[in-house]
């Protein structure tokens, strides 16, 4: 009697089919997180991406609590948001100060009685070659973009866990997945923020509270006008401002906001924004060493300089006729998202 055999390929295909069937059977229908009537707290919500998100949350019917360091910027944001809602609470708070973050969260709870969504958006960008950077530059980046996330997230969690529902949306960066030359302190802080966000999601599994990790590439919000530069600061401002303004290299703030709002509703684990960022993240995941070496070649083409003073280069960019024209879309976004009159270098970030 001839013994029957099963070809390995058929066995493999059969296993895949069974696995797919089990996955479909176990998959539960996903209900989007309704934003109407929800309380959304945005750290870093007075301008740029934070303001863009505040506008969209308001349009969705959410109530808003915004914090930033500058009281005047918060007043401008609240005035801007009156087009969509008057249910806005603002409070000046520095995310690097745990006591101020906790005071803001408690004040928001007293105002609204709950916090349904936290958006950790506060950040700063420091651009310059490694030899111009100081330990203080790294410490500042970590305070704002790592510890700021930690303080706010841990402050809102008790309320969310008690109700068994909530979203913590962490705005990180492609720089938190691939370390980019001349942005090393920024990348270090963003890597830490990604680790915190991913670990928090795992720890909160089954509680009804979900973290959403957002990793944008370059965005046209106009934030380059408030970016801090070191070294050959004029040349640094030129390449960074152009990259953050041109379509194809940068994603529009409107599109970024749309994708973040959708990810928040769905409770998406991670969302990388922008085609260049997605491609870079994918390539780095497969070829990390090759990516680092390729970025080393990019680094050789970037400006060199020795200046150790951190400067905001908005005046230079706007006075330079060529740069002014090339960055026109970025500057238009700056006006739209209230970045053009952003705060100058604060005391915390001076070196």
Per-residue pLDDT tens digits for 300-337: 999 998 888 899 999 999 999 999 999 999 999 999 99
In CATH terms, the fold of domain 39-341 is Rossmann fold (3.40.50)
Percent of the chain whose pLDDT exceeds 70: 88
Q: What is the dihedral of CA 148, 97, 86, 120, to 10 degrees?
A: 0
Return the structure tokens found at 287: 């070829």
* 59 φψ region: left (φ > 0), alpha (ψ -120 to 50), beta (else): alpha
Q: Residue 310 and residue 228: Cα distance in Å, rounded?
A: 6
pLDDT at 8 over 60: no
DSSP code per residue over 23-71 = HHHHPPPPPP---TT-EEEEET-SSHHHHHHHHHHHHTT-EEEEEES-H
Task: Single out the residue of 281, 306, 268 nearest to residue 33, CA to CA.
Answer: 268
pLDDT of residue 18: 52
C-alpha 184 chain-centroid distance: 16
Mean pLDDT (whole number) for 248-275: 98
pLDDT of residue 251: 98
> Of residues 100 and 4, which shows the higher confidence score?
100
Q: Contact 220/333 with Cβ under 8 angstroms?
A: yes
> What pTM was computed for the model?
0.89
Helix (H, G, I), strand (E, B) or coil at 170: strand
Tell me which of 13-17, 96-100, 222-226 is least confident: 13-17
Q: Which residue has the tokens 């960074």?
A: 240
Q: Which residue has the tokens 């055999």?
A: 5
Mean pLDDT (whole number) for 343-349: 40
pLDDT at 7 over 80: no
Q: 171 has which bridge partners?
A: 214
Catalytic residue among 151, 186, 316, 337: 186
pLDDT of residue 342: 58
Tell me, yes or no, if 146 is annotated catalytic: no
pLDDT of residue 226: 96
pLDDT of residue 57: 98
Q: Contact 141/69 with Cβ under 8 angstroms?
A: no
pLDDT of residue 307: 84
Q: Using CB atoms within 10 Å of the CB of residue 24, give its burial: 0 to 12 exposed, 13 to 18 middle, 19+ buried.
A: exposed
Helix (H, G, I), strand (E, B) or coil at 204: coil
Mean pLDDT (the chain, rounded)? 92
Q: Contact 118/41 with Cβ under 8 angstroms?
A: yes
Q: Using CB atoms within 10 Å of the CB of residue 295, give its burial: 0 to 12 exposed, 13 to 18 middle, 19+ buried.
A: middle
Mean pLDDT (whole number) for 212-216: 98
Per-residue pLDDT tens digits for 34-79: 999 999 999 999 999 999 999 999 999 999 999 999 999 999 999 9
C-alpha 187 chain-centroid distance: 12
């Amino acid at each position: 009697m001839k013994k029957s055999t099963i070809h390995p390929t058929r066995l493999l295909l059969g296993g895949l089919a069974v696995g797919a069937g089990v996955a479909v059977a176990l998959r539960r229908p996903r209900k989007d997180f309704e934003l109407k009537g929800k309380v959304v707290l945005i750290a870093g919500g007075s301008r740029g991406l934070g303001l863009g998100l505040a506008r969209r949350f308001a349009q969705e019917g959410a109530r808003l609590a915004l914090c930033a360091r500058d009281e005047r910027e918060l007043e401008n944001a609240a005035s801007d948001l009156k087009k969509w809602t008057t249910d806005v609470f603002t409070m000046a708070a520095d995310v690097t100060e745990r006591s101020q973050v906790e005071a803001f969260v408690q004040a928001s709870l007293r105002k609204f009685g709950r916090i349904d969504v936290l958006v950790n958006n506060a950040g700063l960008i420091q651009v310059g070659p490694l030899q111009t950077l100081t330990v203080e530059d790294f410490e500042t980046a970590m305070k704002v973009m790592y510890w700021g996330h930690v303080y706010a997230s841990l402050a809102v969690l008790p309320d969310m866990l008690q109700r068994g529902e909530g979203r913590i949306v962490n705005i990180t960066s492609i720089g938190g997945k691939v370390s980019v030359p001349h942005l090393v302190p920024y990348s270090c802080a963003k890597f830490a923020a990604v680790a915190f966000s991913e670990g928090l999601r795992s720890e909160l599994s089954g509680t009804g509270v979900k973290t959403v990790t957002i990793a944008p590439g370059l965005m046209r919000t106009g934030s380059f006008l408030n970016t801090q530069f070191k070294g050959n600061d004029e040349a640094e401002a030129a390449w960074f401002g152009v990259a953050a303004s041109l379509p194809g290299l940068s994603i529009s703030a409107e599109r970024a906001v749309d994708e973040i709002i959708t990810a928040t509703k769905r409770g998406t684990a991670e969302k990388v924004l922008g085609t260049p960022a997605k491609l870079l993240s994918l390539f780095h995941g497969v070829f990390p060493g090759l990516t680092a070496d390729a970025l080393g070649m990019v680094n050789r083409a970037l400006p060199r300089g020795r200046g150790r003073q951190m400067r905001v280069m908005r005046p230079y960019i706007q006075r330079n006729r060529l740069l002014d024209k090339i960055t026109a879309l970025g500057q238009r976004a700056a006006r739209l998202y209230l970045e053009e009159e952003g705060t100058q270098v604060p005391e915390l970030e001076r070196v």
